[in-house]
Amino acid sequence: MSEELNQVEVKSFEVGDKVTGQVTKVEEKQVLVDIQGSKLDGIIPISELSSLHIEKASDAVKEGDELELEVMKVEEEALILSKRKVDAGKAWESLEQKFQSGEVIETEVKDVVKGGLVVDLGVRGFVPASLVETYFVEDFSDYKGRTITFKIVELDKEKNRLILSHRAVVEQEKAKQKLSRLDAIQPGDIIEGTVQRLTDFGAFVDIGGIDGLVHISQLSHEHVNKPTDVVHEGQNVNVKVLSVDRDSERISLSIKETLPGPWSNISEKAPKGSVLTGTVKRLVSYGAFVEVFPGVEGLVHISQIAHKHIGTPHEVLKEGQEVSVKVLDANEAEQRLSLSIKELLEKEVEETYDYELPEESKGFQLGEMIGDKLKNLRK
């Protein structure tokens, strides 16, 4: 090309012009392109190939690629071009729309840096460590190269600032699952779940993306002092849905109601005539309630406490006392157990005189004896 033609060619371009070029050679720190409709050479410095730092030009393009470029500088023999600026211009417009709509973006993690992850969306996007997962991650090294979903949480074109969050996507999915799960769950359902955390008042159980509370009173048929006595975090349990409050997103659950009750098979555990050991739990005017199995109390009627007549059970028993009882009757359907203490006690011997009648007086009537005494007194 003559010098005059070259100058005319150069003058036909200005900084900021958009051109199309085809990659003819990829060097380590720059790329050469043929500019469509021009005889001028085009050069793309490595710093203008990508919004991210790259070590060599071949990391961004290859020979034969057709690129949209922007003129950065007009020299005598060539145009200095930028791929990065064109990509960024398109990207900001698209990203602004995605930011406004809350669209989820799927892209590859290009690099792991101090404090988070880096992605390339036409412009450099940064994911702070706190926004990667809903849980703490100590080492992010295996995230590089992984394709992950993100939402844009901050965008400022003027400051070239783009902040993304994978955590927001996870939380959004969990919220959707929670609403769907709430609609599906009905009182009375028996569901398998996992104990997530324990508190003084019960256990929170994950039943498929949503937590429900098993109150301490619903953990077992037996009295529970603290939840850790019967369940632990990570344990798989069956729970029964007691109630669902969709407005407050609260679910009440019960482990107790999925377990055999203490009265199950009571006729086998306490057959009629069997002798059991129990603890006096309550004393009432008409008898004593004795616990013979955890959660199973039977009644010893006042008439079955002692052979002798007593006015109140308090005369011979006290709460907390351990006693032996005999089963008189067991009724599982009505959850009733009739017990007796009396039948295990020897019958008290009836009171007798302190002296014995003379042998010769045996067989005589008491009246005859008294008559004889009176006769002797008259003499």
Report pLDDT digits (tens) over 127-172. Answer: 999 999 999 999 999 999 999 999 999 999 889 899 999 999 999 9
Whether 215 shows a pLDDT value over 60: the answer reads yes
| pLDDT confidence band for 178 (50 / 70 / 90) | confident
Whether 174 shows a pLDDT value over 90: the answer reads no
Q: How many CA atoms lie within 13 A of 112 on its CB side?
A: 12
Q: Which segments within 170-249 are labelled E, that is strand?
A: 190-199, 202-206, 211-215, 236-245
Whether 374 shows a pLDDT value over 50: the answer reads no
**The pair of three-digit structure tokens given for residue 25, joined into one six-digit string:** 């050679």
- pLDDT average, residue stretch 107-128: 93
Percent of the chain at pLDDT exceeding 70: 88
- Quickly name the fold that domain 266-344 has: OB fold (Dihydrolipoamide Acetyltransferase, E2P) (2.40.50)
Whole-number CA gyration radius for the chain: 46
Quote the pLDDT of residue 41: 85
Quote the pLDDT of residue 205: 96
Q: Which residues pair with 300 in a beta bridge?
A: 288, 339
Tokens 């008559």 identify what position? 371
Contact (Cβ atoms closer than 8 angstroms) between residue 228 and residue 220: no
Quote the pLDDT of residue 204: 97
Quote the pLDDT of residue 350: 41
- pLDDT average, residue stretch 84-92: 88
Q: Give the CATH H-level superfamily of domain 102-170.
A: Nucleic acid-binding proteins (2.40.50.140)
Quote the pLDDT of residue 1: 45
Single-letter amino acid, residue 86:
V
Quote the pLDDT of residue 9: 53
Q: Which residues of 267-306 are buried (b: 16+ CB within 10 A; e: fewer)?
A: eebbeeeeebebebeebeeebbbbebbeebbbbbbbebbb
- pLDDT average, residue stretch 69-73: 93
- The greatest distance separating any two alpha carbons of the chain, rounded to the nearest whole angstrom, comes to 182
Cα 296 to Cα 260: distance, rounded to the nearest angstrom? 13
Does residue 102 or residue 347 have the better pLDDT? Answer: 102
CATH of 187-258, one of 1.20.120.160, 3.40.50.2000, 2.40.50.140, 3.40.50.720: 2.40.50.140
Cα 42 to Cα 37: distance, rounded to the nearest angstrom? 12
Does residue 113 or residue 39 have the better pLDDT? Answer: 113
Quote the pLDDT of residue 372: 52
- pLDDT average, residue stretch 169-186: 88
**The pair of three-digit structure tokens given for residue 301, joined into one six-digit string:** 């009627």
Quote the pLDDT of residue 209: 80
Single-letter amino acid, residue 126:
F
Average pLDDT value for the chain: 87
Report CA-CA distances (Å) from 31 to 44, 88, 122, 311.
5, 19, 19, 109
| Model pTM score | 0.52
**The pair of three-digit structure tokens given for residue 4, joined into one six-digit string:** 């005059």
Contact (Cβ atoms closer than 8 angstroms) between residue 41 and residue 6: no
Quote the pLDDT of residue 5: 43
| pLDDT confidence band for 354 (50 / 70 / 90) | very low
CATH 2.40.50.140 boundaries in the chain: 3-86, 102-170, 187-258, 266-344
**The pair of three-digit structure tokens given for residue 302, joined into one six-digit string:** 């006042």
Enter the CATH code of domain 3-86.
2.40.50.140
φ/ψ of 156, rounded to 5, equals -140, 100
Residue 233's nearest CA partner among 200, 202, 207, 203 is 203
Q: Which helix (H) or strand (E) holds 328?
A: strand 322-331
Q: How many CA atoms lie within 13 A of 152 on its CB side?
A: 24
**The pair of three-digit structure tokens given for residue 328, joined into one six-digit string:** 């008189």
Percent of the chain at pLDDT exceeding 90: 66
| pLDDT confidence band for 10 (50 / 70 / 90) | low
